[in-house]
A and B are shown apart, each in its own frame.
Chain A
Amino acid sequence: MTFSYFPGCTLKTKAQDLDRWGRAAAKALGFELQELPEWQCCGAVYPLAKDEIATKLSSVRALAASRDLGQELVTLCSACHHVIKRVNGDMQNDKDIQTKVNNYLRLETPYTGQTSVLHYLEVLRDRVGFDEIAKRVKHPLTGRKIGAYYGCLLLRPSKEMGFDDPENPSIIEDFLRALGAEPVVYAMRNEYCGGYVTIENKSYAAKQVDRIMENARACGAQMLVTACPLCLYNLSVNATDGLPVQYFTQLLAEALGVKEEEDA
């Protein structure tokens, strides 16, 4: 299995652990992430305005490149996934946006939403299968109580993202179970982390993060996992007395025994 891969700006810089261990684990699980040539930043937030085209173009370029390669498009970053998936929806369903974008881009073959967009976790669930992953685990995370932190971008709006139940998701819990860990379900796992507002109002993010941490800890979590660099930042930097937080790919690589191979 080979997928087109859109890493995004942050995975090349501050979130290298999300990228590096995702790639290494993919190799161990028998699928390949082929980085798209000359990909451009997705913009990190989906442009909600109906009358804006320019802010959607970089996503369409990635989607069209992936279509031309005949591959599905995979992302690891929650934000990239959110933006590209929703722009793809616009290119499928919104004739006005579709026409304006194609008029501007003048691609050899107009793009009308043909590419299937998958988050890495969806590849694990729907293409590889959690049962198969469980069989490949070399170092089960036995006895570790881990809380999934979903945040906003993977789940909502569920009509467009189609990722999981937006109010009671289970994909990361199932993932953790496949690795041999004990998932801890807590109420705040699908609330927001404070996002980019931390840039101008740290106390706003800190208040939210403290609520999340308090809730996760009260439910018995010893650590949290996330798929989003900005969530990881807020949860680690803005917490008063937080639990440790890691990317889900770090745990995956650890359980598959990929980390020790690299370190050896």
Chain B
Amino acid sequence: MNDMIQTIERIAGVNPRKCMKCGKCSGACPAYDEMEYHPHQFVDMVETGRIDELMHSKGIYTCLSCFACVERCPRSVEPAKIIEAVRLAVIRQQGQDHLKPEQIPGLLDEDLPQQAITSAFRKYRK
């Protein structure tokens, strides 16, 4: 379990133990209703080693890095980086891509900008 905490902290480059549980991150999060674990819970669950639960949560694909939590975190814990690290811990495993190229043609419409596809690939697959 400690190995996994270290892995997440290494990828994220931030320290969840600095969190003072003020809840500003979740208060600022526009995706709050779409996540079963909210940003402040992500931080707490990484700190206490409940990483497996986070790796199986859909919320890791719902956070889209708008940086509202990063901007408002008074302790520089930067929850978006922790959520990103958990997502990466999943998709860096063989066969765990969340989005596959063969899905793309079915998702396109006439106006969809390339930026959307590029972003989604960067976030959802390795």
Residues of A near any B CB (own CB < 8 A): 8-10, 13-15, 41, 43-51, 55, 77, 79, 152, 155-158, 166-167, 191-192, 194-201, 204, 208, 228-230, 232-233, 236-237
Complex contacts, B80 vs chain A, CB 8 Å: 48
Query: Closest CB-CB distance, A48 to chain B, in whole Å?
Result: 4
Complex contacts, A194 vs chain B, CB 8 Å: 64
| A interface, over-half SS | loop
B49-89 CB contact bits vs A (8 Å, 1 = yes)?
00000000000011011111011000000101100110010
Query: Closest CB-CB distance, A211 to chain B, in whole Å?
Result: 9
Q: Are A200 and B107 closer than 8 Å at their CB atoms?
A: yes
Question: CB within 8 A of A156: which of B10, B67, B115, B116?
Answer: B67
Task: Identify the closest chain B residue to A156 (Cβ).
Answer: B67
Q: Are A192 and B64 closer than 8 Å at their CB atoms?
A: yes
Q: Quick check: which of B18-26, B36-44, B118-126 contacts chain A, the rest being far away?
A: B118-126
Most chain A beta-carbon contacts within 10 A, residue among B34, B62, B65:
B65
Task: Identify the closest chain A residue to B107 (Cβ).
Answer: A199
Question: CB within 8 A of A50: which of B12, B65, B112?
Answer: B12
B88-126 CB contact bits vs A (8 Å, 1 = yes)?
100000000001000000010101111111111011000
Query: Closest CB-CB distance, A188 to chain B, in whole Å?
Result: 9
Bound Cα distance from A175 to B102, whole angstroms: 43
Task: Identify the closest chain B residue to A237 (Cβ).
Answer: B111
Task: Identify the closest chain B residue to A211 (Cβ).
Answer: B30
Complex contacts, A51 vs chain B, CB 8 Å: 10-11
Query: Closest CB-CB distance, B83 to chain A, in whole Å?
Result: 9
Q: Does B27 count as interface, using CB distance less than 8 angstroms?
A: no
Bound Cα distance from A200 to B13, whole angstroms: 29
Bound Cα distance from A145 to B88, whole angstroms: 43
Bound Cα distance from A49 to B8, whole angstroms: 10
Bound Cα distance from A157 to B13, whole angstroms: 16
12 A-B contacts (beta carbon < 8 Å):
A10-B113, A45-B65, A45-B122, A50-B10, A158-B71, A191-B68, A195-B65, A196-B64, A197-B61, A208-B30, A233-B111, A233-B113
Q: Are A49 and B67 closer than 8 Å at their CB atoms?
A: no
Bound Cα distance from A155 to B11, whole angstroms: 24
Question: CB within 8 A of A10: which of B62, B114, B120?
Answer: B114
19 more A-B residue pairs beyond the given contacts A49-B13, A195-B64, with a C-beta to C-beta distance below 8 A: A8-B115, A9-B115, A9-B118, A15-B113, A41-B118, A43-B118, A44-B118, A47-B122, A49-B85, A156-B68, A157-B71, A157-B78, A158-B71, A192-B68, A194-B64, A196-B115, A201-B62, A204-B31, A237-B111
Across chains A and B, which 8 residue pairs bring their CB atoms closest together, nearest first? Answer: A50-B13, A156-B67, A192-B66, A196-B119, A44-B118, A152-B66, A195-B64, A229-B113
Complex contacts, B85 vs chain A, CB 8 Å: 48-49
Query: Closest CB-CB distance, B5 to chain A, in whole Å?
Result: 15
Most chain B beta-carbon contacts within 10 A, residue among A48, A158, A167, A191:
A48
Task: Identify the closest chain B residue to A203 (Cβ).
Answer: B34
Task: Identify the closest chain B residue to A55 (Cβ).
Answer: B122
Query: Closest CB-CB distance, A187 to chain B, in whole Å?
Result: 12
Bound Cα distance from A152 to B72, whole angstroms: 13
Query: Closest CB-CB distance, B88 to chain A, in whole Å?
Result: 6
